[in-house]
């Protein structure tokens, strides 16, 4: 039975040059073959994750009219609250059975992207929400730089290629609530319909329940279950464009539970470049020709947000 590879990020961050070469080979092979890998260890403290999940449940338990105060319908809903059954998968008209909150980067006044990215919203009803999620955002961001460095070594790009690309990048921490499915149209809708992510890579800290599946090469759905302390990593469409699909963007979904009274919470960190980053195919990946025309990360993001109903 095929199973998503499990790797040690700390073997790359703290290991010898031999350990690093091994990790680069493992992550390159895993992402080529599955589009997913699982990190058994990393640099994100579990206490930060646990505290964040406590506040996630507190926020989503608030009345709908309170949550709707933080709904930014403009700007592609890139910050704040997005109500239940708003987003749908690309090429699907059926909305997903979820609601979510977006936390973005807090830019310095000197950043060239200040005013270009939407400002964060913060719910005053949940104490320590801002502090907790900015700390988690920062921890995920630091881990993403190490991961992208390793991926870059496997792609033969300059040492700081991805680090420069994601510096002041428009990365988003998405805090998701999948409510109990009792009373919902579960014949036509699921928690997250089959889709590919938009960004470079996604880092998902262990969700509170199972349900994540990837579409394998033979057309079957493969369960991707993670334990507390692990991070699931997958490649998105921006990475697929850059690498000419050498590192493909893998289709995945979140299925409905057997128990229609159970909720699920998850916190994916979507790693995005800065908006002016060039997504032209990497020279090392061109092969017989680039499969996609040049586009900036900002333009591609806007295009995809329209396709999934957020603009």
Cα(164)–Cα(169) distance, integer angstroms:
9
> Nearest to residue 39, comparing CAs of 146, 134, 133, 137?
146
Cα(200)–Cα(249) distance, integer angstroms:
9
**What per-residue confidence (pLDDT) applies to 73?**
78
* 197-228 pLDDT per residue, tens: 999 999 999 888 889 999 999 999 999 988 88
* 268-305 pLDDT per residue, tens: 999 999 999 999 999 999 999 999 999 999 999 999 99
Cα(209)–Cα(21) distance, integer angstroms:
34
Domain 6-307: CATH class, spelled out: mainly beta
Over pLDDT 70: what percentage of the chain? Answer: 100
Give 40's pLDDT tier (boundaries 50, 70, 90): very high
Domain boundaries, the chain: 6-307
* 109-164 pLDDT per residue, tens: 999 999 999 999 999 999 999 999 999 999 999 999 999 999 999 999 999 999 99
> Nearest to residue 151, comparing CAs of 287, 31, 277?
31
């Amino acid at each position: 039975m095929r199973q998503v590879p499990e790797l040690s990020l700390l073997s790359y961050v703290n290991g010898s040059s031999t350990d690093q070469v091994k990790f680069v080979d493992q992550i390159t092979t895993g992402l080529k073959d599955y589009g997913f890998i699982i990190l058994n260890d990393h640099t994100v403290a579990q206490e930060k994750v646990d505290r964040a999940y406590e506040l996630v449940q507190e926020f989503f338990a608030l009345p709908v009219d309170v949550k709707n105060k933080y709904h930014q319908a403009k700007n592609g809903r890139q910050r704040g609250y997005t109500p239940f059954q708003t987003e749908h998968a690309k090429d699907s008209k059926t909305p997903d059975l979820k609601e979510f909150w977006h936390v973005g980067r807090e830019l310095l006044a000197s950043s060239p992207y200040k005013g270009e990215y939407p400002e964060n919203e913060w719910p005053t009803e949940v104490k320590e929400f801002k502090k907790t999620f900015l700390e988690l955002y920062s921890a995920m961001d630091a881990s993403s730089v190490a991961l992208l460095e390793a991926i870059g070594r496997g792609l033969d790009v300059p040492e700081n290629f991805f680090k420069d690309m994601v510096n002041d990048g428009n990365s988003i921490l998405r805090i998701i609530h999948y409510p109990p499915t009792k009373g919902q149209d579960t014949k036509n809708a699921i928690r997250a319909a089959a889709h590919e992510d938009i960004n470079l890579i996604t880092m998902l800290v262990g969700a509170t329940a199972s349900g994540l599946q990837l579409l394998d090469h033979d057309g079957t759905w493969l369960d991707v279950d993670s334990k507390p302390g692990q991070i699931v990593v997958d490649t998105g469409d921006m990475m697929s464009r850059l690498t000419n699909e050498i590192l493909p963007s893998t289709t995945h979904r979140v299925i409905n539970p057997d128990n229609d009274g159970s909720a699920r919470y998850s916190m994916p960190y979507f790693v995005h470049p800065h908006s002016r980053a060039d997504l032209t195919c990497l020279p090392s990946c061109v092969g017989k020709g680039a499969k996609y025309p040049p586009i900036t990360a900002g333009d591609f993001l806007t295009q995809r947000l329209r396709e999934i109903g957020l603009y």
